[in-house]
């Protein structure tokens, strides 16, 4: 049996897990999530933006066709709704699990001015506080986090471009724990910043390289799964031990596990561009990759293969 990981976090890759209908493709995957029944929701950039599978990888349904131009972030809420962040559409939608839109934040297709601080310019992800307030990381064309009331009213925003505490260089992902702390993947500053619910800086985790995806299971003092994108410049593309990989840290940022090779690769325990991730009730890990977009960066001048992998399942063995 091939395994990957360390310590208490060892996994077996489950290859060819997702059984897509004939002729379908993910192209690449912005994010993944699981519902209370461990059905898996794959928010992707193919022709069928949301594809749903059961735990065994059997196709259940699809939805969102024609609505989501560039799938980016997915957050499963405790009330069995799903929050979808589309950076190509500059909007966030709250949906039922079969795709009915309940709330929209932002004006679809209309970005706020670049670096204006107003929502949204290529927003990236959404998280909920324990009270149901809504946090949105924003994103590629802003350096802000916005906090909304449960009814969608903007409460306040924080951040700005830069490298100091509370500033961001591509605010790429966001999550919130059971105590209301807010964790922000500040990707190109190579850190996760930690804030209280009022946007006040508390701490940062620095032992990371281009943190891209975040997932925290519910509960007090949770662990955090962090997808690290890996090297992105010609000068360091072949440098080992920078990712792409998944790091698992405790609530203080101390690393307690890691998955992935020393380099980018297409092997069963390797990654190309881990972007969104989630864990089901059994502790199994699902990772979506943006390998199609990332290929020209990591393989300059090399034609892109037709069969780039974009979805992993890892079964936890201890």
pTM over 0.85, yes/no = yes
Asked whether the beta carbons of 210 and 232 are under 8 A apart, the reply is yes
Q: How confident is the model at residue 303 (pLDDT cuts 50, 70, 90)?
A: very high
Cα separation, 313 vs 244, whole angstroms? 16
Helices (H) and strands (E) counted in the chain, each on its own, are: 1, 25
Q: Dump pLDDT digits (tens) for 77-128.
A: 999 999 999 999 999 999 999 999 999 999 999 999 999 999 999 999 999 9
Q: For tokens 């990707």, name the residue.
A: 187
Q: Say what the pLDDT of residue 165 is.
A: 98
- Lowest-pLDDT choice from 134-143, 162-171, 258-267, 287-296: 258-267
Is 118:131 a contact under the CB 8 Å cutoff?
no
Range 268-293 average pLDDT: 96
Q: What integer is the mean pLDDT of 3-10? A: 92
144-189 pLDDT per residue, tens = 999 999 999 999 999 999 999 999 999 999 999 999 999 999 999 9
Mean pLDDT across the chain: 96
Tokens of 225: 């799964």
CATH of domain 4-293: 2.120.10.30
pLDDT score recorded for residue 262: 86
CA distance 35 to 81: 9
- The pLDDT assigned to 245 comes to 97
The predicted structure's pLDDT at residue 299: 87
Band (306; pLDDT cuts 50, 70, 90): confident
**Cross-strand partners of 53:** 40, 59
Which residues have CB under 8 Å from 43's CB, separation 6+?
29, 30, 31, 32, 33, 49, 50, 68, 71, 72, 73, 74, 84, 276, 288
Work out the number of other CB atoms within 10 angstroms of the CB of residue 310.
Answer: 24
| Burial class of 218 by CB neighbour count within 10 A (0 to 12, 13 to 18, 19+) | exposed
> How confident is the model at residue 222, as a pLDDT?
86
Give per-residue pLDDT as tens, 22-66: 999 999 999 999 999 999 999 999 999 999 999 999 999 999 999
- Give, in order, the Cα–Cα distances in Å from 95 to each of 77, 90, 98, 216, 229: 10, 16, 8, 21, 28
Confidence of residue 289 (pLDDT cuts 50, 70, 90): very high
Whether residue 219 has pLDDT greater than 80: no
Peptide bond into 265 cis (omega under 30): no
Cα–Cα distance, 253 to 189 (Å, whole number):
16
Q: What is the mean pLDDT of residues 233-241?
A: 90
Q: What is the pLDDT of residue 72?
A: 98
pLDDT exceeds cutoff 80 at 136: yes
Give the distance between the most distant pair of CA atoms in the chain. Answer: 52
* Angstrom distance (rounded) from CA 300 to CA 290: 16
Give the residues across from 158 on adjacent strands.
145
pLDDT of residue 51: 98
Lowest mean pLDDT among 59-73, 181-195, 214-228: 214-228
End-to-end CA distance of the chain: 13
Least confident of 112-116, 135-139, 142-146, 297-301: 297-301
User: What is the structure's pLDDT at 7?
Assistant: 87
Residue 10: partners with Cβ closer than 8 Å, 6 or more residues away: 3, 4, 316, 317, 318
- Cβ neighbours of 115 (radius 10 Å): 13
> Which of the four pLDDT bands, split at 50, 70 and 90, describes residue 253?
very high
Query: Three-class SS of residue 279?
Result: strand
Tokens of 274: 């881990």
Cα distance between residue 282 and residue 261, in whole Å: 24
pLDDT at 91: 98
**268 backbone dihedrals φ, ψ, rounded to 5°:** -65, -20
Task: Give yes or no for residue 226 having a pLDDT over 90.
Answer: yes
């Amino acid at each position: 049996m091939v395994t990957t990981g360390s310590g208490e976090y060892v996994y077996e890759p489950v290859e060819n897990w997702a059984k897509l209908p004939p002729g379908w493709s993910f192209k690449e995957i912005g994010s993944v999530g699981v519902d209370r029944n461990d059905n898996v929701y794959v928010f992707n950039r193919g022709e069928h933006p949301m594809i749903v599978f059961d735990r065994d990888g059997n196709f259940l349904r699809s939805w969102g066709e024609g609505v989501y131009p560039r799938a980016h972030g997915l957050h499963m809420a405790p009330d069995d709704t799903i929050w979808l962040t589309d950076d190509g559409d500059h909007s966030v939608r709250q949906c039922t699990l079969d795709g009915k839109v309940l709330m929209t934040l932002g004006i679809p297709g209309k970005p706020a001015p670049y670096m204006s601080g107003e929502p949204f310019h290529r927003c990236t992800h959404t998280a909920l506080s324990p009270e149901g307030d809504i946090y949105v990381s924003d994103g590629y064309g802003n350096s802000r986090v916005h906090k909304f009331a449960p009814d969608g009213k903007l409460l306040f925003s924080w951040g700005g471009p830069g490298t100091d505490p509370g500033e961001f260089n591509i605010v790429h992902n966001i999550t919130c724990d059971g105590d209301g702390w807010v964790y922000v993947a500040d990707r190109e500053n190579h850190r996760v910043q930690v804030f209280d619910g009022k946007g006040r800086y508390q701490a940062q985790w620095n032992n990371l390289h281009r943190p891209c995806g975040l997932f925290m299971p519910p509960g007090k003092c949770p662990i955090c799964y962090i997808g690290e994108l890996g090297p992105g410049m010609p000068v360091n593309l072949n440098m080992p031990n920078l990712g792409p990989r998944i790091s698992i840290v405790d609530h203080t940022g101390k690393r307690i596990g890691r998955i992935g090779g020393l380099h980018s690769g297409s092997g069963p325990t390797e990654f190309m561009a881990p972007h969104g991730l989630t864990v089901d009730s059994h502790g199994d890990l699902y990772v979506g990759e943006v390998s199609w977009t990332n290929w020209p960066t990591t393989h300059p001048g090399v034609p892109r293969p037709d069969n780039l992998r974009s979805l992993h399942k890892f079964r936890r063995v201890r």
